[in-house]
Structure 1
Amino acid sequence: MNTSVHTAMPVAVAGQSIPVRAILPWAVFGLIVSALLIYFVGAEQGATSLISGHAVHEFVHDGRHLLGFPCH
């Protein structure tokens, strides 16, 4: 009777490094989009308003409360 146990040997996988030059444009893009999102959700009303009227405020109103930004 053959009672040998077959065990799977772990295979070493070498990670491929990504150069900073390839990541930097995406990181900058992500930071700009994040900053704009935070501005429009958190500060687009009152003295710092870039767009006149209340359209942006009403559009992001529920998201503002969900994220904990007071607005009234």
Structure 2
Amino acid sequence: MAETAAFPAASLPGPIPVGEILPWAVFAGLLALIALYFIGAEQGATAVFSGMGVHEFVHDGRHLLGFPCH
């Protein structure tokens, strides 16, 4: 005798309201812009922090993303 497994009917996911996604998308975009600033522009005249600590911390990331620094 062959047994047949009874699986429950699959329910389709409902639409996600834009009002729920928008705050997270804005937050992720803001984090991405902050990361891009620190990797790409945090040195020299536009520096927020004095010294080269931030530059040295993100130095390899700068070269990985194609930003020249020296």
Indicate whether the TM-score tops 0.5. Answer: yes
- TM-score normalized by the length of structure 1: 0.79
Give the equivalent residue in structure 2 for 1:4.
none
Give the equivalent residue in structure 2 for 1:48.
46
Distance in 2, matches of 1:66 and 1:29, equals 24
Identity %: 63
Q: Point out the structure with max Rg over C-alpha.
A: 1
Report the aligned-residue RMSD. 1.4
Give the equivalent residue in structure 1 for 2:36.
38
Superposed displacement of residue 16, structure 1: 1.1
**Of 61, 64, 67, which aligns to 2:65?**
67
Which consecutive residues of structure 1, in runs of 5 or more, have no partner in the other structure?
1-10
Return structure 1 stretches of 4+ with deviation > 6 angstroms: none
Distance in 1, matches of 2:66 and 2:57, equals 16
1:24-56 residue CA offsets vs partner (Å, 9 max, x unmatched): 110010011000000000000011111111000
Give the equivalent residue in structure 2 for 1:6.
none
